Structure 1
Amino acid sequence: MSLALVQSRALLGLHAPQVTVEVHLANGLPCFTLVGLADVEVKEARERVRSALINAGLEFPGNKRITVNLAPADLPKDSGRFDLPIAIGILAASGQIDAQRLAGWEFAGELSLSGELRPVRGALATSLALHQQREQVLQVLPPGSAEEAAWVPEAQVFCARHLLDVVQAFVPRHADDEDAASAGWQRMPCQPRETHAGNAEMAEVKGQAQAKRALEIAAAGAHSLLLIGPPGAGKSMLAQRFADLLPPMSVDEALQTAALASLSGRFDARRWAQRPTASPHHTASAVALVGGGSPPRPGEISLAHHGVLFLDEFPEFSRAALEALREPLETGRISIARAAQRAEFPARFQLVAAMNPCPCGFWGSALRRCRCTPDQVARYQGKLSGPLLDRIDLHVEVPALPAAQLLAAAPAETTAQIRARVAKAHAAALRRQGAPNQQLQGRAIDQHLRLASAASDFVQAAAARLGWSGRSLHRVLKVARTIADLADSAGIETPHVAEAVQYRRALLQAQ
């Protein structure tokens, strides 16, 4: 047979469109042609496949005209994941393996020159896409990638260490040879889902009762948070412990987070079902934050999906990088459009930002005198645009504490104690509306707030006096709803609104 079809998958964001590798052997001037909108890494597969077949002791049809087409032709293909299916297609077209046995199988893997298989990026994302599309296929993957893909429920994954292991599984056999197996070929069992607890303890943070309360509210309602205070006050210490306060992840959330990490080559089984914390340096570009490149890859906001994006030294980020956060904060998704393709990544993260109040860091501090002029302070805080600040629910002051107060601080609440209250309030919101309070939109806000008349009068007066936008008003009400949930209150009362209002202050009024 001179024509063989082998199935594989491309990666386009979190989607995994099917790619049919068509291999045709014909008489004529010997050559090896690869078509189908292949990137440079895919075109280099010709040399890897040729060397792998020869060094594995298999026959490479060097006297034939070899044409490999990656269909559909208008879908961009990248990486070395098509090495294995191309090699299998050549072997099937030349009759060295049984082409009929390839039905229902999909292959992905990069080949070394000796024929060994190397891991490919995004194996878990591909397996998750198959699971969501309810496609029942048998996957053949290299070591490292096969273990990732096996985390998806009901995934049927086989691990092959060498090209010869794959060949042995698909050579023509007699009925009495079906039990023959290779040590390098095995079916992967479903990976055990063990959750490893974090080791950051909130009790280690001395004092800062108001900041801890704000973190508890933010965790219960999925609100964004801005911490403002002088250097060394504990802003970073609080932010690094925030992820451990969040409610436990569901299996679907854990799979989505792991799939995004797999796309970037960062999947770590030891962090399964742990809320991720992405903390890019303030020199990170807008593309590093939101994602991009060719092919498009997820940025830090997507790697923080269902977790925390911690931006320290908030005003030091470039203006373009900060303004790029506006739409994802509202929608929870990011779309990256390029000339040849468009990719969409989820970005339902919680923003925790930390900043000093001025360039020297001590404006308004009772412990040290600030050297900045009012104009310098206004210019520094003006790096943060009004629309961006409008999208941050909680603005919290983290003051520097005197040494005596730090040393005499009483034992604080543990992370487990705070997390128990957060989980209870979060579960109440899910039972009521099916989503965290921060995600309430449109009519759902009026339907689920249950605002008392006195509380309504209070918030109207506050909005008129402080000049809030409609977005600011709704965000205060959603924060008040979370505070009511923490208090186990069916409706929003005036004390709940009053506490929410104090977290909505202009920066220059916060000190």
Structure 2
Amino acid sequence: MWQLAAMVLEFSTWSRNNQWVQLQVSMEPGYKFQWVGRRDGHQIPQRLHAAFRTFGWKWPGKRITVLTQPPADLHAGSDAALSVAVLVGSRQWPIRVQEVYSLYGSVDLFGKILPVPGDVLPESWPASSRFHLVPMEWKRHFSGNNAVVGVGTLQDIQNFLHHGMRRDQGASVQKKEIIWPDLRLSEDLQWFFLVVAAGAHPCFLMGPPGTGKTQMARLWWKLLDVTCEGGQFLEPMPPRSAHVPIGSWLERTEGGCLFLDEVGEWPLKALEALRKPLEEAQCSTLYIAASNPCPCGFQGHASRPCTCPPGRIQAYQRRFSGPFLDRFQLYAYVQADPSDESVVWSEVRHRLKRARAMQSKRGLGLNGQLPADSLGKALLVQEAAWTDLRLWQQRTGMGERSVHAVLRVARTMADLEESVGVQPRHIRLAAHWHWSNQGLISKSDLWGPAHSWSTLGAPRSPRPQSSQP
């Protein structure tokens, strides 16, 4: 006979009786959650799963048993300790916990760490714990104690445990080297990846499941966070109705990255409701959308055949209206090929540093987030490049928003090549990556002809005007 060994993790947490106790969490194969001695334990997995989904994690399918030593009456203040144990034990956090940490705080449905009303501040800390992670509201009372770490969300806890990064001081302790994954992309996609990262350009990704769309989004945020110290990564649950709490999502990213996954499955009115908020958020937040290419998801897959009829594939891809796609400056079809070369992270970081330095020297911000009135100050466009851009606009019928998107992307390409001016090849490649070259135009007019586009008639963007550089 053989038996699978259980993983047991242990953390200190603050109890209802105002004392530190050890929270022991055992994880093994199975599908049951049991908190020994706690009557309200049955609702904890559902509550924490909702909080995990905010950041792209989930409650695992494991047999999880929780015990406190000594036995104590715990409340929601133990949420933080339990969440860390579950995420580390299920390997969703690639962290090896080699020390004992003290964690306190309740976790709301958005993943925020909050104190429990009425709880008394501890007068001492467990001697076995090197660091004590508490809500930001409590950190103010222990500002002189460097071992007390203030956290605002579950993402803050992961950043501290994994990278030694802490938000309460704007600096890091025990700074660890960031481990970059083995990302394999084609030569074109590697250049696309670099352009998005350098300019923080909103982009739309389409491709079969498992091709790396989510990984690319997380890495863009990671590169943005490392170079600009910016915000949180948020991957909200897809909505089931036309109501989309986009304002709350953008606020919770704090200028980080908003990843909208599986938008092909969203209700049409929910997609259209994103248009205005995304346009307003462009100057402060990197937002990325991703979708499968068809209902079954495997159109264009290297090994799995697609089972969708051609008409259904076309209808699925044309759910996205022109005004919705116009909120994204770049589009790419993502495929996985084992023969693709791995991304060389040292080279990526070096080129990003040089490109960001050129943008910083202009003092206008990142290219993808430039306001329209600042765009002209950042551009040095050759006359031949302007001619190519206006010919493209005339041929496609795109409006000025699309022209601005192409110019922003072209400016980033020039920065990556350390070119002072935008050249014709930059314009042509930026136009090639624009969504209008992919055949993705909706036939739906949910809000009437005054507010949407249709492939049944001529595009409703303004006619291009002659312009001099």
On whether the aligned pair clears a TM of 0.5, the verdict is yes
* Alignment map for 1:41-52 (pairs within 5 Å): none
> Compared with structure 1, are the counterparts of its residues 148 and 221 closer, same or farther at alpha carbon in structure 2 (3 Å cutoff)?
farther
CA contact (8 A) 2:184 2:343 kept: no
Counterpart in the other structure of 2:287: 351
Structure 2 residue aligned with 1:305: 254
Q: Conserved in 2, the CA contact under 8 Å of 1:229 and 1:400?
A: no
- Distance 1:302-1:287 versus aligned 2 partners, 3 A rule: farther
The amino acid of 2:330's aligned partner reads: L
Is 205-214 or 472-481 further displaced after alignment?
Answer: 205-214
Distance 1:150 1:429 in 2: 40
User: What is the alpha-carbon distance in structure 2 between the residues aligned to residue 234 and residue 353 of structure 1?
Assistant: 13
- Is residue 111 from structure 1 mapped to residue 89 from structure 2 by the alignment? no
Query: Corresponding residue for 2:375?
Result: 445
Q: Give deviations 1:327-385, integer Å, cap 9, x for gaps.
A: 2322229xxxxxxxxxxxxx922112221111122334564443323331232123222
**CA–CA distance in 2 between the matches of 1:289 and 1:216?**
30
Matched, 1:420 2:420: no
Q: 1:201 aligns with which of 173, 180, 189?
A: 180
Structure with greater Cα Rg: 1
Say if 2:322 is the partner of 1:315: no
| SS of aligned partner of 1:431 | helix
Structure 1 position 219 matched with structure 2 position 213 = no
Residue aligned with 1:352, SS: strand
Residue in structure 2 matched with residue 332 of structure 1 by the alignment: 281
**How far, CA to CA, are the matches of 2:270 and 2:236 in structure 1?**
11
Deviation digits for residues 44-76 of structure 1, max 9, x if unmatched? xxxxxxxxxxxxxxxxxxxxxxxxxxxxxxxxx
2:186/2:340 contact within 8 Å kept = no
**Residue 157 of structure 2: aligned partner:** none
Report the TM-score when normalising by structure 1: 0.51
Report the Cα offset of residue 468 of structure 1.
Answer: 1.4
- Work out the CA distance in 2 between the residues paired with 1:421 and 1:150: 43
Q: 1:458 is matched with which residue?
A: 388
The correspondence for 1:394, drawn from 324, 330, 337, is 330
Deviation readout 1:215-257 (Å, 9 max, x if unpaired): 211121121111111222222232232222226465xx66xx4
Q: Which residue matches 2:212? A: 234
- Answer yes or no: is the 8 Å Cα contact 2:225–2:256 preserved in 1: no
Aligned counterparts of 1:488 and 1:244: Cα–Cα separation in 2: 23
> 2:361 aligns to what?
431
User: What TM-score does the superposition give when structure 2 sets the normalisation length?
Assistant: 0.55
When the two structures are aligned, how many residues end up with a matched partner?
Answer: 294
Corresponding residue for residue 246 of structure 2: 290
Measured against aligned partners, the alpha-carbon deviations of 1:295-337 in whole angstroms (never above 9, x if no partner) come to xxxx22222232211122121123344333322322229xxxx
Consecutive unaligned residues of structure 1, counting only runs of 5 or more, are: 1-107, 119-142, 154-158, 160-189, 258-275, 292-298, 334-346
Query: CA 1:145–1:240 in 2, change beyond 3 Å: closer, same or farther?
Result: closer
- For residues 222 and 199 of structure 2, the distance between their equivalents in structure 1, rounded to whole angstroms, comes to 15
Correspondent of 1:245 among 216, 220, 223: 223
Query: What is the CA distance between 1:480 and its match in structure 2?
Result: 0.3
Distance 1:419 1:306, change over 3 A: farther
Cα deviation digits, residues 237-287 of structure 1 (max 9, x gap) = 32232222226465xx66xx4xxxxxxxxxxxxxxxxxx211122247676
- The reply on whether 1:479 has 2:409 as its aligned counterpart is yes
1:490 to 401, 420, 423: 420
Contact preservation (8 Å) 2:331, 2:433 = yes
Q: Secondary structure at the match of 1:241?
A: helix
Q: Structure 1 residues 152 and 279, CA, compared in 2 at 3 Å: closer, same or farther?
A: farther
Distance between the aligned counterparts of 2:394 and 2:286, measured in 1?
A: 28
Match of 1:277 in 2: 233
How far apart are residue 423 of structure 1 and its match?
A: 2.7
Identity %: 32
Q: What is the deviation of 1:435?
A: 1.3
Question: What SS does the aligned partner of 2:435 have?
Answer: coil
CA drift of 1:499 comes to 1.6
Alignment of 1:32-71 (within 5 A): none
Aligned to 2:435: 505
How far 1:399 moved relative to its partner?
Answer: 2.3
